[in-house]
Amino acid sequence: MKRNLLLFLISVGMILPVALNAQEKFNAETLWKLGRLSDVQYSPVDNSFIYGVTWYNAETNKSNRDIWRLDKNAESPRKLTEFEGSEFNAIWRPDGKKIGFLSAESGDVQIWEMGINGEDKKQVSHVEGGINGFSYSPDMKHIVYIKDVKIEKDVHDLHPDLPLADAMIYNDLMYRHWDSWHDYAYSHVFVAPYSDGNVGEGKDIMSGEPFDSPLTPWGGMEQIAWAPDGKTLAYTCKKEKGKDYAISTNSDIYLYNLASGETTNISKDNPGYDQDPVFSPDGSKIVWRSMETPGFEADKDRIMLCEINPKSLEGVKKGIEPKKTASGKQLVMTSHVFTDLSEGFDQSSTSFKFSPDGKQLYFISGIHATYQVYRIDLATRKITQLTQGDHDIQAFALDGNDLIITKMRHDLPSEVFRVKPDGSEEQLTFTNREILKNVTFGKSEKRWITTTDGKQMLVWVILPPNFDKNKKYPALLYCQGGPQSAVSQFFSYRWNFQMMAAHDYVIVAPNRRGLPTFGQEWNDQISGDYGGQNMLDYLTAIDSVATEPWVDENRLGAIGASYGGFSVYWLAGNHNKRFKAFIAHCGIFNFESMYLETEEMFFVNFDYGGPFWEKPRPKSYDFSPHNFVGNWDTPMLVIHGGYDFRIPYTQGMQAFNANQLLGIPSRFLFFPNETHFVLKPQNSILWHREFYKWLDTYLK
């Protein structure tokens, strides 16, 4: 069931940085030469940190990831691994003397260890079938790891006399999710004894349970946490199945006691998402991000604090009053104290870290289409924004009074920086300096535009490199997906604003209604109103920028993926001839068929207001783009992936077929083996070639 490892394990092959000639154009080939930095881990004993960099080779369609280390005063980082395959999930052992990581060097993915300089690499686990993630207990007596466990019977178990049969049999919903069919296996959490250089036999703490931890498909080890004493493990799980799973967002935080083997649900009273637990340094508290509204995947991520009652834990250890549920494993604890630390803070929060003394909590939150580091004082509940600037901070670590951050911008792939208390920054890594040193990026401008209902909307306007205000440029309206995902300072490897600008297009990227970082009211407004105010916001943004003397209002296009693809389909029937070209990737075309084709039913139930057969019929279905096909008259490129189960490719087929039947110039670009995203290097390069060929045909 776990799919988050596949990108690291697809295959091998490394491409070395090569300097480009002066003033090279930023294109898809250059994009796939960039090293992708991630997963920075700060040393527990000194000022060094480790991180991973993935390189792709477009010629072989393969990738390779290595682990690097940078000391505080070093001029350059040191590469620690050079296996043929990829190494990932690199973490420091709690004593700082070893670095653990995952590798498939010997076949299955296993835990390896090495010295802090990359010496003495040794495989330390031998788990049958391999593992997907791991971490050390703080006392170094145990390791927790996750692996897939087959629980249910497949067609060959049911019909052993038909070994060549190729079929799947299901009796309930959630038989496929995002990009994969259910394979009768579940991701489970295992605890294994550990001594220096040896991982013992693991115990499945979810034995027999048909549930996943971490949550599929995107969850990782951030959803599992050790208590400081190494005696309790917190993990995230959504203990629902089939139809109940499909219509619910009710995940919870469970505490597993290693001594008693008992499991306790500490977030059972919250009906929405609860995930990513983090213990305080003394183990007396645990925080996690929590959504209050059931079925709403884009609700505010609150900072939920649980002050653990030691007597309740002692009761669990000794088996006192074991109020067991029907499963016989979960106990109910009612004497903890719960507090929403973010009450009155109109922003979502994530990536929690306690200060060493446990008195302050640091976290990342989005504000005005940027992501910054904040701090809350637990005694006074005062929240302070610590970083400023137009950037997206993706991760951070504490180094005394300094912050070590990973951040990106429209013109900067992810790199590591040190931030001083006065706000000054020092860039620490320069992964792509040689590749990008001769590339000229366009300027990204921030504008506040008044909407039709009198509110202020932030719009990014990205100008072509070497912008000439005396020229007339075609412009592209970028329609964001999600639907609730901020148009922030992301550096995308798919919808890259700088690459669009490098093709001499002005990019108009509005943070229309329904996007986070502008307060929950702005974020929530879109649900049930897909064809309403957010569409007016789109048109306001493009109309405003089109008045600039350097924009040719007769050469406007609209592009987008997912909800952005839906937006393009909707605009195609309601744009009043503003646009001359459309590109829709994996968009929703027909709400009625989408309702019965998608898998996360909680999403369409919440955003559409329920099934189309309800009486009265939910108003949202009136916004379905297929209702407006009679107004379509503009050339359209439709793109979809065969393994996209979030928005099945039949939605794209319907849109393309409609264009063809109407005699509208149209093209269908289909990737049989891609998902909601186009992730393979040569497929991505092909995607970009077709993308710009279409735009250049109708806008230049």
Kindly tell me if the per-residue pLDDT of 13 is higher than 90: no
Q: Return d(Cα 359, Cα 377) in angstroms, integer.
A: 6
Contacting residues for 530 by C-beta, under 8 A, at least 6 apart: 483, 566, 570, 607, 620, 623
Is residue 620 among the annotated active site residues?
A: no
Cα–Cα–Cα angle for 174, 176, 178, rounded to 5 degrees = 110
Rounded CA separation 21/19 (Å): 7
Rounded distance between C-alpha atoms, residue 530 and residue 626, angstroms? 14
Q: How confident is the model at residue 2 (pLDDT cuts 50, 70, 90)?
A: very low
Say whether pLDDT at 598 is over 50. yes
Q: Which of 563, 558, 534, 532 is nearest to 545 (CA)?
A: 558
676 is catalytic: yes
pLDDT on residue 73: 84
Instruction: Identify the CATH class of 440-591+624-699.
Output: alpha beta
Taking only the tens place, the pLDDT of each residue in 454-492 is: 999 999 999 999 999 999 999 999 999 999 999 999 999
The predicted model gives 181-199 an average pLDDT of: 95
- The active-site residue out of 342, 562, 666, 684 is 562
Going through 283-411 in order, the beta strands assigned E by DSSP cover: 285-290, 302-307, 330-331, 337-340, 349-354, 360-367, 370-377, 383-385, 392-399, 402-409
pLDDT greater than 70 at residue 318: no
Please give the Cα distance from 504 to 692 (Å, whole number): 11
Q: What is the pLDDT of residue 310?
A: 60
Full-model pTM:
0.93
- Active site residue: 177, 182, 503, 676, which one? 676
Give the tens place of pLDDT for each residue, 631-646: 999 999 999 999 999 9
What DSSP character marks residue 221? G
pLDDT band of residue 335 (cuts 50, 70, 90) is low
For range 111-132, the mean pLDDT: 97
pLDDT at 324: 40
| Cβ atoms of residues 347 and 355 within 8 Å | no
Q: What is the pLDDT of residue 311?
A: 55
Q: Is 644 noted as a catalytic residue in this protein?
A: yes
| 196 pLDDT tier (thresholds 50, 70, 90) | confident
Mean pLDDT within 102-115? 96
Q: Which of 137, 188, 644, 666 is catalytic?
A: 644
Q: Minimum mean pLDDT among 17-31, 389-403, 427-441, 560-574: which range?
A: 17-31
As a whole number of angstroms, the distance between CA 55 and CA 678 comes to 17
**Is the CB of residue 491 less than 8 Å from the CB of residue 479?**
no
Average pLDDT rounded to a whole number, residues 386-405: 97
CA dihedral 489, 494, 497, 503 (to 10 degrees): 170
> In this predicted structure, what is the pLDDT of residue 319?
37
CA–CA separation, 77 and 97 (whole Å):
18
Asked if the model's pLDDT at residue 594 lies above 70, the reply is yes
For the stretch 510-532, pLDDT in tens is 999 999 999 999 999 999 999 99
Give the single-character DSSP code of 618.
P
pLDDT of the residue at 392: 98
Mean per-residue pLDDT of the chain: 93
Which has the higher per-residue pLDDT, 209 or 330?
209
Which segments of 481-565 are extended strands (E)?
A: 506-510, 551-561
Q: To 10 degrees, what angle do helices 563-572 and 533-546 make?
A: 70
**Confidence category of residue 451, pLDDT binned at 50, 70, 90:** very high
CA–CA separation, 103 vs 81, rounded Å?
Answer: 10
What is the percentage of the chain residues whose pLDDT exceeds 90? 91
Exposure of 440 in the CB half-sphere (CA atoms within 13 A): 13
What average pLDDT does this structure show over 576-596?
98
What pLDDT does 22 receive?
59
